[in-house]
Amino acid sequence: MAVYTEVSDEALRAFLAEYELGELRAYRGIAEGVENSNYALQTGAGDFILTLYEKRVDPAELPYFLGLMQHLAARGLACPQPVAARDGQALRRLAGRPAAICTFLPGVWPRRVRPEHCAPLGEALARLHAAGADFPGRRPNALGPAGWAPLLDRCRAQGDAVQPGLIAQLDAALAGLLAAWPAAGALPEGQIHADLFPDNVFFLEGPGGQPQVSGLIDFYFACTDLLAYDLAVCLNAWCFEPDGAYNVTKARALIGAYHRQRPLSAAERAALPVLCRGAALRFLLTRLYDWTTTPPGALVTRKDPLEYLRKLRFFSTASGPEALGG
């Protein structure tokens, strides 16, 4: 839940005057997305989303993110398309911050994931990977294996206050993961979303009430990494029930639909358990860091890091990819 930056209406009008979008009809802050300030913008040309990039986004990385969205949208993927101003530039400045206008996507993200969401999700993820295949940009995954040890170090002093013994467990899990992680070049790489949680996937009802993906949003963790790691993020984010149980029906639908669109190699399939452990550790560490640095009751809702400790344990004890629905 955000909107950190208030934009004066004069500044907004001056900003909009640089575009061919007609006159301003409405703008309202959107209470979703925790990293940036998002506004629903209505102009003579239709509905758009205005994003002001706040301090957690490195301005130097915005050309990669916006370029990737532009590239994916040009290849037919339903994702926000950056809108260029008259001078051809989509990345601009507003209220002292980097800012961009993107197209509005219809749809509703699922507050409660049903198995019927998972096959369309898997197919959309595979389409994203295919659409990104010829994108020339490259961004290392700052929250990939090389980033986990420094992140854990930043949680070291306060982590055990969340749960006694937590840091020792994480040290052990990290050592095991780094030893088991696929070697460079062993698995296909490409542009991945890396944060495809339910609130980043919009659905509309198709024929017979079946959910269909109408859009993928929030590419601000996108990076160049193992394609199958994106699937592992989705298994973490979509396939656990509120009581912590892994829903293998959802996982089979997700992996199956992905595989039909982009067949997983035997090596990718075999690596799924370790990739899932890695994804669980990644979200555990960022949540733990946020938990230990965000005061209780702050504007940003803290998410429970221990949810991902349970997921990490589950994936650590999985007998193989079959147990994960792979």
Residues near a second copy (CB under 8 A) are 1-3, 6-10, 12-13, 23-32, 40, 42, 47, 104-112, 202-205, 295, 297-299, 301
The residues, ordered by sequence, that sit 6+ positions from 131 with a Cβ below 8 Å of its Cβ are 71, 72, 75, 76, 77
Task: Give me the least distance between CB of 13 and a second copy, in Å please.
Answer: 8
Q: Which is nearer to a second copy, 249 or 301 (CB)?
A: 301
When the beta carbons of 110 and 137 are compared against a second copy, the nearer one is 110
* Cβ 258 to a second copy shortest distance, Å: 23
Cβ closest to a second copy, residue 74 vs residue 298: 298
Instruction: Write down the least CB distance from residue 158 to a second copy, Å.
Output: 18
Comparing CB distances to a second copy, the nearer of 172 and 298 is 298
**CB of 95: closest distance to a second copy in angstroms?**
10
Q: Which is nearer to a second copy, 12 or 142 (CB)?
A: 12
Work out how close the CB of 3 gets to a second copy at its nearest, in angstroms, rounded to a whole number.
Answer: 4
Residue 12: CB atoms within 10 A of its CB come to 17
For the bound state, the minimum distance from the C-beta of residue 249 to a second copy, rounded and expressed in Å, comes to 18
State the residue for tokens 């532009």. 70
Rounded distance, CA 59 to CA 195, Å? 19
Q: Tell me, what DSSP letter sits at residue 82?
A: B
Residue 235 backbone phi and psi in degrees, to 5: -60, -40
Q: What is the dihedral of CA 73, 95, 196, 243, to 10 degrees?
A: -150
Contact in structure between 51 and 41 (CB atoms under 8 Å)? no
- Least CB distance to a second copy at residue 211 (A): 9
Q: Which two tokens stand for residue 20?
A: 């061919």
Please check whether residue 208 is in contact with residue 179, taking contact to mean a CB–CB distance below 8 angstroms: no
Greatest Cα pair distance in the chain: 60
Residue 3 or 143: the one with the smaller Cβ distance to a second copy is 3
Q: What tokens appear for 181 in the block? A: 């992680």
Q: Which is nearer to a second copy, 211 or 278 (CB)?
A: 211
Q: Is the dihedral of CA 138, 130, 193, 36 positive or negative?
A: positive
Are 65 and 38 in contact by the 8 Å Cβ rule? The answer is: no
Whether residue 257 contacts residue 217, with contact meaning beta carbons closer than 8 Å, is answered with no
